[in-house]
Amino acid sequence: MKVIEGLGLTQNAVKVLEKRYLKKNEEGKIVETPHELFQRVAKSIAAADLNYGKSHEEVEALTEAFYEMMTSLYFLPNSPTLMNAGRRLGQLSACFVLPVEDSMESIFEAVKNAAIIHKSGGGTGFSFSRLRPNGDVVGSTKGISSGPVSFMTVFDTATEAVKQGGTRRGANMGLLRIDHPDILSFITCKENNTKFNNFNISVGLTEDFIDAVEEDKEYSLINPRTQKVSQKLKAREVFDLIVNHAWKNGEPGIVFLDRVNASNPTPKLGEIESTNPCGEQPLLPYESCNLGSINLAQMVKGNEVDWKRLSDTVRKSVHFLDNVIDVNKYPIKKIEEMTKANRKIGLGIMGWADMLLQLQMPYNSDMALKLADEVMCFIQTEGKNASSALAEERGVFPNYSQSFYAGKQKMRNATVTTIAPTGTLSIIAGCSSSIEPLFAVSYVRTVMEGTKLIEVNPQFERVAKELGFLNRELMEQIAEKGSIREFKEIPEDAKKIFVTAHDISPMEHIAMQAAFQKHVDNAVSKTVNFSHDATTKDVEEVYLLAYKLGCKGVTVYRDGSRENQVLSTGNTKAEERANFMERRQKIVPRKRPEMIKGSTRLMKTGCGHLYITINEDEKGQLFELFTHMGKAGGCASSQAEAIGRLVSLAFRSNIELEEVVKQLKSISCHQPSWVDGGRIHSCSDAIAKAIEKYSSNGSDDTKGNGNGNKDTINIMLIGACPECGGPVEHEGGCAVCHNCGFTKCG
């Protein structure tokens, strides 16, 4: 990887900064350098020290220390802080939880507040466990309740509307307790990947439920309105339903609610009922939390952990994150009050796999588990000491007397540590993500105009060069596989050290998560990867092991489980199918004449500008269609070209235009766009609308909202990145593109 002079940033890191973080003017032109971004953030956050009696000279020195810590890539704060610190919006937190009480007023207040938070760049978590179940009586009207799953649709639609407004995409966590009467419909609500695409969903499991599963007993469903038992279910059957759906498409995840509340630092203020979208940050209603991550790849000196540098970085990071709470411009007053009352921060890590590579420790080894325990225990201890020192200087958090710290240890922050996904942050830092293993030793990155570059892990490249097996052909072959375990020319010692996510068993993933969770105040976000041929029994064993080892939640993903979903438009009549087969045997495409004419139309899609050229023959019949993506390269461009070729074949084979349009129109993708009040669902939909406009010369039926089939629903498919065509990986309970920094979770 080529490193940008002065900051140690790779070209990919600069690309991500330019696309997502650097300031732009009204014309969309970048008006800030990476140097200036880090200066802006450091100056804004350090300024909080003025509130605590520090001089301007001391604040200037702190600004320099924060700047050096970030530009050295020792530590980076969460994305909203990098984006918004020192700017007008000024919203710096990543994680929020909002209450949803059992009333229309509370439900729609939560919808409104969520929209405000999403607009400001945050993600929201909700527990729907307080809502009365489907079919229950509504006292004020004597009507019937539609239940939590129905109301989730309102939240999902509102999030989609905010996303269409062009802001940073919103993300939600929806959680329902296992003992809610509507739990079965909740578990299955994302069964076909066509609903709730702005939600991650998790089931809140209780210890009573786990006991009932292990003893193969029934458990009770409790109506939250009456607090009475509504029915009993066999725990094993419900657990199997969760497992089967997680095996099918990764959802729902699970959260061990009793365990989360056992470490709730302020139990007198209420129970924790939900988490942020990726599950690592349990919060009380109206709480927010700002996060940051230490880059462990930079904490190695020679063949050892640089404990001195790590200690210094932890203490500065805690100081930084505590200052964020004061500088932050909160989107809602209640959130400001609750956040400042508990002052939760979440210091985590990234570059764990890189640290292991430098120390030549296999990720899936007892040595690595032991080091994980030592490193996180050290960070937790140093972090608590730093928070305690701030409490001596600035005072304890206001709800300290309501906390389990009261009378034991003075603390500035109710929580100190969290391990979150670090998708875009790890790209900026040029390191591996969070505590995840390598996603690939070598991979293909597509850059401008479709040029493909082979990216090789720097540590692997060094070892390959030293051992004499570095060559482009081998790197290309590895990029196709991702893993090196099948290559005979690579020494066994290297294979043991350079393992990737799919070289590691699910049990080993959970063991690593548990090793870190022992020393984390909040929770650990991590994806447990399964091979495509994994069984539901494998998923079940991981869930039970996670509970046994002390994890607070689990997210699983079976390779390829979402990649081959299709959108069905209904059954085709047998007679129509037979007629089509008969016609197909007689079709001979027309030959292309020497001269042809047509026009090119610009269609704005979620993947970029799509230029669609439609040509007709001398008889005025549509003959061929070509596409060109304004954003060249990637999967979107090749898909559009393929559609163009097939449409051209259909034109030349005298297929009715209406049939061509009908097949393409309203196909949905993960990145729709709005143009002149109308919606373009996908590149396929854009091509269909361009054909309509060409053939009708812009008649009224092709103008207006352009919605096509309004019942078509967006689908987030895991596979190619919607923005650059690169591979999208499941990481830390989220979906991340390491090529451009796209993340499903925002």
> How far apart (Å, rounded) are the C-alpha atoms in residues 18 and 4?
13
Q: Which of 197, 198, 264, 280 is catalytic?
A: 280
Which residue, among 192, 199, 251, has the nearest Cα to 566 in the 3D structure?
Answer: 192
Told to judge if 724 belongs to the known catalytic residues of this protein, a careful annotator would answer no
> How far apart (Å, rounded) are the C-alpha atoms in residues 411 and 608?
49
Q: Which residues on neighbouring strands pair with residue 292, listed in sequence order?
A: 77, 347
C-alpha to C-alpha distances, 121 to 79, 218, 281, 362, 746, nearest whole angstrom: 9, 43, 17, 37, 8
Q: Which H, E and C letters describe 529-569, residue by residue?
A: EECCCCCHHHHHHHHHHHHHHCCCEEEEEECCCCCCCCCCC
Count Cβ atoms below 10 Å from residue 423 Cβ, excluding itself. 28
Question: Do 722 and 716 touch, CB atoms closer than 8 A?
Answer: no
Told to judge if 280 belongs to the known catalytic residues of this protein, a careful annotator would answer yes
Cis peptide, bond prior to residue 252, ω within 30 of zero: yes
Please give the helix or strand (H or E) that residue 517 lies within, else none. Answer: helix 506-517
Owner of token pair 């956040």: 339
- Structure-block tokens of residue 9: 């940033």
- Helix spans in 23-101 (H): 34-46, 56-71, 79-84
Q: Which of 95, 189, 278, 551 is catalytic?
A: 278
Question: Do 305 and 299 touch, CB atoms closer than 8 A?
Answer: yes
Q: Residue 565 phi/psi, 5° resolution?
A: -70, 145
Number of residues that this document lists for the chain: 746
Q: Which of 276, 295, 457, 714 is catalytic?
A: 276
- Helix spans in 95-147 (H): 104-120
C-alpha to C-alpha distances, 150 to 108, 128, 185, 535, nearest whole angstrom: 13, 11, 10, 31
Number of alpha carbons in the 13 Å side-chain half-sphere of residue 77: 34
> How far apart (Å, rounded) are the C-alpha atoms in residues 295 and 293?
6
Measured in Å, how far apart are the chain's first and last C-alpha atoms?
Answer: 26
> How far apart (Å, rounded) are the C-alpha atoms in residues 615 and 623?
6
Please give the helix or strand (H or E) that residue 647 lies within, else none. Answer: helix 634-652
Pairing of strands 678-680, 218-222: unpaired
- Structure-block tokens of residue 556: 């699983």
Cite the active site residues.
Answer: 276, 278, 280
